[in-house]
Structure 1
């Protein structure tokens, strides 16, 4: 038995006190081929300090064998000795048989450091040297994917998938539909998923498929995948907003509300779920549930303008006009959106404060002059206030948006007959 074999046996038996003695004997007595195998095994077992000593011995014996330098450099980089590791790698000349390995180790290092452009340049160099090497093509595809260079990543993944389904632990078909989705080609991604359902094995891939189906407006399929995710892992919080949205688009508001409320049980900070749940509750006529969700959402984020506006509109609907106004009381005018001015106009109108209501309608008008519902309400308000010229101006904007509104057409005609244009 060689000393290298004895050393590996001692490690397996946890006789670590013998390792130094056996390493010295191995370095002094074992053949280079055996030492090279020993270094590789030591690296695999995590004994990198011992492996470094073996590689240094081999480099001293064979100074022109650059592959040993590359292996040592990889260990040094992993151990945080970047300067020494990079010095060894950059010392490998392009003419060397180990130059390709040196480029790949450099690419891995720069990727781990977040220097993706540099890593990609190294990987492109490697691909020029070995254009038919799948590992290099995959590495370049992964870098392109990380760098949002999806147009370049997609054909690489597609080419690899023609020869294999998996590369290491990565499912190439999953990468293809994920890349299509990144490109905004949701219908293609959905079609690809439908043709490769057998690749949706893990919970993350099912979630991604569900999200893509929502984006592709294939809501039934989205519900199927996202339901599977939640059944498998009820605390998979990211799935709930997409599931609620899919149910809403299917006009299944009961399930939309249930999904939102269930999701909030796992993540009470998800503001989107408060909004989706409240919207579903309103469509179901469950004003109390909607109010509860909106108030809870505003406690999570008092600055959420969408939740504030929904609650103000609900307060107005229920005749709680002062409460609607109070929601905007602490805000500066610059923070108020046109929809907020509209809600305040309705509240002031409900309180019979017509001057304040008129002011808010006029503030809302520039931003809502293409909103038919707003224009109709504004026209009726100013008609009741006897401001005929303003009514005509508003109706001139409104009627092209709602040409079939006979009541407003008749009002506009009467105004023109009364006073001309």
Structure 2
């Protein structure tokens, strides 16, 4: 048994007492091929300091063997010894057989440190040296995807998938789906999903596939994929709004509400779920549930104007006029939506507070002066208030929009 084998056995048996001695003996007496294998194994086991000693010894014995310099540099870069590692790599000449390996190590280092363009430049140099090397093409595709060059990435992925379906642990079909989606090619992405859905084992890929199928209107397939995501990981909170949306498209309010309630159990801060759940509950005539969802949602997100407006509409529908007005009591007029002014006008009118009702109608008017329903309600209010001038002006505007309304025409004629 070589000294290198003895050293590896002792490390795997957690006996480190003879490590220095065995390493010295190995360096003095083992063949270079055995030492090279020892360095590789030490690196894999995480004993990089010992591996560096082996590579340094090999470099001393074989100074022209640049591959050992590349391996040593890679360990140095991973251990944070960047200056010496890069110095070794840049010392490898372009004529060296190890130059390509050095470029790949440099590309990996620069990518890891966020220098995407520099990493890409190294890979492009490598591709010139090895134009048929798929590992380089895959690296370029990944860099293009990361930097938003989706068309270039797509071309590379499409080339790679002609020869293999996976690269390392990466499913190339998943990459094609994601890249097409980024480019807005949803139909192309959907076609891949339909043909290869069984190979989408990664939960994030299933989620992205569900998003794509939702975008192309295939709600049933979106539901299938998103259900798989939730079954696999019930706390995957981003899946719940999409699943609820798919059920909403199918007008399945019961499933929307069920999905919302399940999603809120994992993420009570999701404002979208409160809104969707309230709509579904209202469609099911479960008005107490709708109100409860909206009130809880506003407690979590008091600045959400959509939730506030939904609750205002619900209060108005249920003649809860005091609650409706309270919703906006802490807001200045300029920070209140025109629809809120309209809603409050109706509530104040029902509460016989004509002065405030008049004010709210007038505040809402600029935004709704082309809305026949609003004008009709405002006309009836000012008519009851015996304000013929404003009533007549409103009637003129209304009849321009709805000339066939004979009842309003008669009211105008009688003024």
Taking structure 1 as the reference length, what is the TM-score of the superposition?
0.90
Aligned to 1:138: 138
Aligned to 1:109: 109
For the Cα contact (< 8 Å) 1:376–1:395, is it kept in 2? no
In the TM superposition, what is the alpha-carbon distance from 1:334 to its structure 2 partner?
3.9
For the Cα contact (< 8 Å) 1:309–1:343, is it kept in 2? no
Q: Check 1:150–1:367 CA distance in 2 against 1; reply closer, same or farther (3 A cut).
A: farther
Aligned to 1:120: 120
Aligned to 2:373: 376
In the TM superposition, what is the alpha-carbon distance from 1:415 to its structure 2 partner?
7.9
Q: Secondary structure at the match of 2:97?
A: coil
Q: Deviations over 1:123-154 (max 9, x none)?
A: 22222222211111111111122222212211
Equivalents in 1 of 2:408, 2:142: separation in Å? Answer: 63
Aligned to 1:44: 44
Give matches, 1:314-393, under 5 Å.
314-367=314-367, 372=371, 375-386=372-383, 387=390, 388-393=392-397
In the TM superposition, what is the alpha-carbon distance from 1:358 to its structure 2 partner?
4.0
For the Cα contact (< 8 Å) 2:375–2:394, is it kept in 1? no
Q: Check 1:344–1:152 CA distance in 2 against 1; reply closer, same or farther (3 A cut).
A: farther
For the Cα contact (< 8 Å) 2:361–2:378, is it kept in 1? no
Equivalents in 2 of 1:395, 1:41: separation in Å? Answer: 88
Is residue 9 from structure 1 mapped to residue 6 from structure 2 by the alignment?
A: no
Q: Check 1:23–1:312 CA distance in 2 against 1; reply closer, same or farther (3 A cut).
A: same
What RMSD in Å do the two structures reach over aligned CA positions?
2.3
Aligned to 2:387: none
Q: Check 1:346–1:152 CA distance in 2 against 1; reply closer, same or farther (3 A cut).
A: farther
In the TM superposition, what is the alpha-carbon distance from 1:85 to its structure 2 partner?
1.6
In the TM superposition, what is the alpha-carbon distance from 1:20 to its structure 2 partner?
1.1
Is residue 306 from structure 1 mapped to residue 303 from structure 2 by the alignment?
A: no
In the TM superposition, what is the alpha-carbon distance from 1:366 to its structure 2 partner?
4.5
Equivalents in 2 of 1:85, 1:135: separation in Å? Answer: 23
Taking structure 2 as the reference length, what is the TM-score of the superposition?
0.91
Q: Check 1:13–1:359 CA distance in 2 against 1; reply closer, same or farther (3 A cut).
A: same
Q: Check 1:95–1:342 CA distance in 2 against 1; reply closer, same or farther (3 A cut).
A: farther
Equivalents in 2 of 1:304, 1:321: separation in Å? Answer: 20
Equivalents in 2 of 1:272, 1:40: separation in Å? Answer: 52
Equivalents in 2 of 1:369, 1:125: separation in Å? Answer: 66
Q: Check 1:210–1:56 CA distance in 2 against 1; reply closer, same or farther (3 A cut).
A: same
Give matches, 1:143-154, under 5 Å.
143-154=143-154
Is residue 99 from structure 1 mapped to residue 96 from structure 2 by the alignment?
A: no
Q: Secondary structure at the match of 1:345?
A: helix
Q: Secondary structure at the match of 1:16?
A: coil
In the TM superposition, what is the alpha-carbon distance from 1:169 to its structure 2 partner?
0.7
Is residue 157 from structure 1 mapped to residue 154 from structure 2 by the alignment?
A: no
Equivalents in 1 of 2:339, 2:127: separation in Å? Answer: 56
Q: Secondary structure at the match of 1:385?
A: helix
Aligned to 1:78: 78
Equivalents in 2 of 1:84, 1:411: separation in Å? Answer: 91
Equivalents in 1 of 2:336, 2:148: separation in Å? Answer: 36
Equivalents in 1 of 2:396, 2:13: separation in Å? Answer: 94
Is residue 34 from structure 1 mapped to residue 34 from structure 2 by the alignment?
A: yes
Give matches, 1:188-337, under 5 Å.
188-337=188-337
Equivalents in 2 of 1:206, 1:355: separation in Å? Answer: 57
Structure 1 stretches of at least 4 aligned residues deviating more than 6 Å after TM superposition: 415-419
Equivalents in 2 of 1:414, 1:162: separation in Å? Answer: 76
Q: Secondary structure at the match of 1:196?
A: helix
Equivalents in 1 of 2:74, 2:217: separation in Å? Answer: 47
Equivalents in 2 of 1:208, 1:339: separation in Å? Answer: 36
Kindly tell me the number of residue pairs found equivalent between the two proteins: 408
Equivalents in 2 of 1:350, 1:81: separation in Å? Answer: 77
Equivalents in 2 of 1:43, 1:282: separation in Å? Answer: 63
Equivalents in 2 of 1:119, 1:413: separation in Å? Answer: 75
For the Cα contact (< 8 Å) 1:40–1:51, is it kept in 2? yes
Q: Deviations over 1:274-299 (max 9, x none)?
A: 11111100111111000111111111
Long gaps (5+) in structure 2:
384-389
Aligned to 2:57: 57
